Amino acid sequence: MLIARDLKKIYHMGEIEVHALDGVSFQINEGEFCVIVGASGSGKSTLLNILGGMDSPTSGEYELDHQLNTNFNAKALSEFRRKDIGFVFQFYNLLPSLTALENIMLAEGIAEHPLSSQEMLESVGLKERANNFPSALSGGEQQRVAIARALVKNPKLILCDEPTGALDSKTGKTIIALLQKVALENHKTLIMVTHNGLFTKLANHVIRLQDGKIIEDYYNEKPLTVEDIEW
Ligand SMILES: Nc1ncnc2c1ncn2[C@@H]1O[C@H](COP(=O)(O)OP(=O)(O)O)[C@@H](O)[C@H]1O
Ligand SMILES: [Mg+2]
């Protein structure tokens, strides 16, 4: 479903070149739960932003569903983000002046084949919080809204950048379990980047980044569930 070929990203900082991605190639199958793991600064966010059409590589190719994304112009990239990608970020990125339900409806409104905002809110367990503003919600609840917002678009790909990075470990567990559940129920391909090596045990597919290079790429025969792991 997703093919990356020799992706490179070079940032220029005055005289210095930072090779954030240094020739990255991999494939991801439809319906997979893929965890991209690596230390801080290894290039995870750079890679995820390219996969989500928020950034372009310096060189290399990226194909999603037989479409060569790296040839897209700004308009095509914008449409791609709107239709095909659901994002979940570390700090939720909800609009503070909209209620939980309205945040989800905003995404529903720009999608091509959306699901129901009300139903998505219920599926993340927040039916009773529909009319609350983000400031009245806990971090875990805000992340649930963000997950519903990503899923309501019915995108091809759900991309999560350290989705539990701002949460305590217990809340983090419920968020990962929820992400797994809703992705499975909706037959979505889920890519999560994290510095937490424990999460690799939950994934079907693990890609390990170090200094902008892939140093490991493997499949788990038997992924564990969140209840099976301690952190
Ligand atoms: N906009 C930018 N300008 C310059 N350097 C950047 C920029 N974004 C990321 N980098 C550098 O690229 C490398 C990879 O960063 P990043 O993808 O954010 O890693 P991670 O998400 O794994 O922590 C780091 O050395 C970082 O400092
Ligand atoms: Mg990052």
pLDDT digits (tens, 9 = 90+) for 70-94: 888 889 999 999 999 999 999 999 9
Q: Hey, whose CA ends up nearest to atom 27 of ligand 1? A: 41
CA dist 212 and 157 (Å) reads: 22
**pLDDT band for position 157 (50/70/90)?**
very high
pLDDT digits (tens, 9 = 90+) for 98-125: 999 999 999 999 999 999 999 999 999 9
The confidence score (pLDDT) of residue 182 equals 84
Domain total in the chain: 1
- Name the token pair of 40: 């801080």
Average pLDDT for 158-162? 96
The confidence score (pLDDT) of residue 153 equals 94
Atom of ligand 1 nearest to the CA of 47: 17
Residue 162 beta carbon below 6 angstroms from any ligand 1 atom? no
Range of the domain at 108: 31-56+84-228
Tell me 65's DSSP state: T
Q: Is 75 helix (H, G, I), strand (E, B) or coil?
A: helix
Q: Hey, whose CA ends up nearest to atom 12 of ligand 1? A: 20
Q: How many CA atoms lie within 13 A of 95 on its CB side?
A: 11
Report if residue 25 sits inside a domain.
no
pLDDT digits (tens, 9 = 90+) for 191-222: 999 999 999 999 999 999 999 999 999 999 99
**How many angstroms is it from 17 CA to the middle of ligand 1?**
11
Report if residue 68 sits inside a domain.
no
Report if residue 22 sits inside a domain.
no
Query: How many CB atoms are located within 10 Å of the residue 102 CB?
Result: 16
> What mean pLDDT is reported for the chain?
94
The confidence score (pLDDT) of residue 86 equals 95
CATH code for the domain in which residue 186 is found: 3.40.50.300
Mutate to test the pocket of ligand 1, among 16, 46, 54, 159 (most ligand atoms within 8 A of CB): 46
Report if residue 1 sits inside a domain.
no
Q: Hey, whose CA ends up nearest to atom 1 of ligand 1? A: 11
**pLDDT band for position 34 (50/70/90)?**
very high
The confidence score (pLDDT) of residue 186 equals 84
The residues that bridge with 8 in the sheet, in sequence order, are 22, 59
CA dist 212 and 42 (Å) reads: 5
